[in-house]
Structure 1
């Protein structure tokens, strides 16, 4: 399904001449974290947050508090992953959509975009999740792909799930094969396997050796 099919336009932006009391009433009726605001000409000015709406004088116009407006939005051409990033960066559950001509087209709801993400092959296709870790200056996505595919795996998706100044963790979704050979190859390329897997023969071998040592020490 195209992201444009999720555009909702049942809520129009409030005018900046509206009173704070009107905004408060709207928040009481809806579950949105923000409400879009426009000027008298319909030009999008930003979003007013619910938290701010309940802190200000209810008889004053929104324009009195324009300095608090969140200036976030996406274009109707913005890809869904960038839309999801915009939601996260602005801690909102509603994202205004503007055309290339800056015309307000409607908004996305966070749940709709998350649902679209959950319908992607990364989640919907069968496969195993693998989290690998390596020094940040030593890893490459091309190497990761080569390791997976050289062992008959199909890389369904990958993203950086954790990063600091020294290390980076990459989460992979792998289809078409068991993970053991892929895991062992990652280790040969100096990747640390962060996620635990029952089929990991290396871990099983360590466990067997540990059990043997414990039995020996108990003699």
Structure 2
């Protein structure tokens, strides 16, 4: 799950000598709003479609145009989670990947990153999603898994996020292998766990769009 594994080779880097009209043509062809700019193997930042339109000079060279997001990058051996973190921090749907010598390797798109996370979290598997609220001090995945197994249910993956309404609490999102939630909900509530929400999936997820949608719901984005 390292960043370099998800580099999108269909997105080319721009050179400083390239013209704005060529960059715009590439963006329209591959349907992206940003392209990376690289000089002598070094990542300089991203050129945006909006910047090109504002410039209104199709013959301008990239070296004459202000670039965006020079800090929007990760090392090639960083986890795919770091790609999502940098994407969020920089408000970008594309992140550059550099090796440890700071040489440019390529970019990862958010579509590719989200699809990778969806695979790792078993989002595409049939089952259900359960969202619990609890104090951080009460959190024990081992105990929750034990209770789930008493109802012949297994936890496929889990995700923790802070509770925006109470800084002392967390939201624990669980992907379970069974679509039926009635009994596991009753068991968890009997042991004092508060259930915030649940999603039951009756059919196998069949498309990339559905898989990404379920991941966003799972992560509560």
Name the TM-score, length of structure 2 as normaliser. Answer: 0.70
Partner of 2:205: none
Report the CA distance between 1:146 and its aligned residue: 4.3
Q: Distance in 1 between matches of 2:38 and 2:22?
A: 14
| Aligned with residue 182 of structure 1, among 184, 187, 212 | 184
Partner of 1:193: 195
Please show how residues 42-57 of structure 1 align to structure 2 within 5 Å.
42-57=41-56
The CA RMSD over aligned residues, in Å, is 3.3
Please show how residues 22-33 of structure 1 align to structure 2 within 5 Å.
22-33=22-33
Partner of 2:117: 117
Partner of 1:169: 171
Report the CA distance between 1:65 and its aligned residue: 4.1
Count of matched residue positions in the alignment of Structure 1 and Structure 2: 197
Q: Distance in 2 between matches of 1:11 and 1:132?
A: 40
What SS class does the counterpart of residue 123 from structure 1 fall into?
Answer: coil
Q: 1:117 to 1:130 in 2, by over 3 A?
A: same
Q: 1:189 to 1:23 in 2, by over 3 A?
A: same
Q: Distance in 2 between matches of 1:73 and 1:184?
A: 45
Moved beyond 6 Å, runs of 4+: none
**Superimposed CA distance per residue, residues 130-179 of structure 1 (whole angstroms, 9 cap, x where no aligned partner):** 11112455445454344434554321111135621514322101226954
Identify unmatched segments of 5+ residues in structure 1: 199-219
Q: 1:146 to 1:93 in 2, by over 3 A?
A: same
Partner of 2:9: 9
Report the CA distance between 1:50 and its aligned residue: 2.0
Identify unmatched segments of 5+ residues in structure 2: 201-221
Partner of 2:130: 130
**Superimposed CA distance per residue, residues 31-67 of structure 1 (whole angstroms, 9 cap, x where no aligned partner):** 112110123x231111122222221252444344446
Q: Distance in 2 between matches of 1:7 and 1:97?
A: 8
> Is the contact between residue 20 and residue 56 of structure 1 (CA under 8 Å) also seen in structure 2?
no
Q: 1:135 to 1:65 in 2, by over 3 A?
A: farther
Higher relative contact order (CA 8 A, sep 6+): 2
Name the TM-score, length of structure 1 as normaliser. Answer: 0.70
> Is the contact between residue 47 and residue 67 of structure 2 (CA under 8 Å) also seen in structure 1?
no
